[in-house]
Amino acid sequence: MDYDATNIPDSYDRGREHGPEVHTLWMNVVAQHVADQSIKAILDLGCGTGRFTEDLAARFDAQVVGIDPSKKMLEQAHRKRRDERVSYASGRAEAIPLQDASVDLVFISMVFHHFDDPALAARECRRVLRNQGTVFLRAGTREQISSYPYVDYFPETRPLLEECLTPGILVREVFESAGFRTVAVDLVDQEIAANLGAYAEKLSAGADSVLARLRPSDYEAGMNALRLHAATADNQAVCEQIDVFVFR
């Protein structure tokens, strides 16, 4: 998706921000997988609005460069920048604008399905990583589609997700073919809303690229179904599982 051709960047943080607990959760998960490494330079590849970029700088006391092809996303990231260890640049995963062997960690969050050429992106990650460097990848995979909270309310998203999401085994094959070894594959639960009502409000921000592809009538029908269910449902948190892959 060309985010610059949409209004998604303007509302992305409102729809995707899940609170400080989620940020802490993910920094803990990353740290667990690089505990034996010295992390001085990090690439946040496909950084979007920089949701995790400053977290990475703070957690690892590292220089972090966030790279994204979307001008609008980077404008949002620049606007929020507070940490001098963080910088942003325009670029694509298939042609990372960094020198060879210049980073210790590549962090990739929920953008693998946007890569035009995943195999080339994986080779670029290997090029910019130093010896024994790590790729930490958060992703949606085809195996998890049925568990995604909005699919039952927006059934038209299922074929769209099947089209754009990759099976987990293929994610591994892409990076292993580029010379990486897989050191971890996991599922991590994250809370994305305090209840269904709050979840509906997040979705109404229009920050999801799959929902943005629905016909307006299908989107409205799904939102109405979700809000109707939220009005009578127990006040329980909404959670989703995110696939994690770690390559070295």
Mean pLDDT across 197-216: 90
Mean pLDDT across 137-150: 94
What is the reported pTM?
A: 0.91
Q: Residue 29: what pLDDT?
A: 97
Domain that holds residue 21: 3-247
Q: Residue 221: what pLDDT?
A: 97
**pLDDT classification of 235: cutoffs 50, 70, 90:** confident
How many distinct structural domains can be found in the chain?
Answer: 1
What b/e sequence results for 36-45 when a residue is b if at least 16 CB atoms lie within 10 Å of its CB, and e otherwise?
A: eeebebbbbb
Q: For position 59, which CATH number holds?
A: 3.40.50.150
Residue 9 clears pLDDT 90, i.e. is over it: no
For residue range 40-83, list pLDDT tens digits in order.
999 999 999 999 999 999 999 999 999 999 998 899 899 989 99
Residue 180 clears pLDDT 70, i.e. is over it: yes
Plot region of 101 (φ>0 → left; ψ -120 to 50 → alpha; else → beta):
left
Which has the closest alpha carbon to 25: 242, 246, 245, 202? Answer: 242
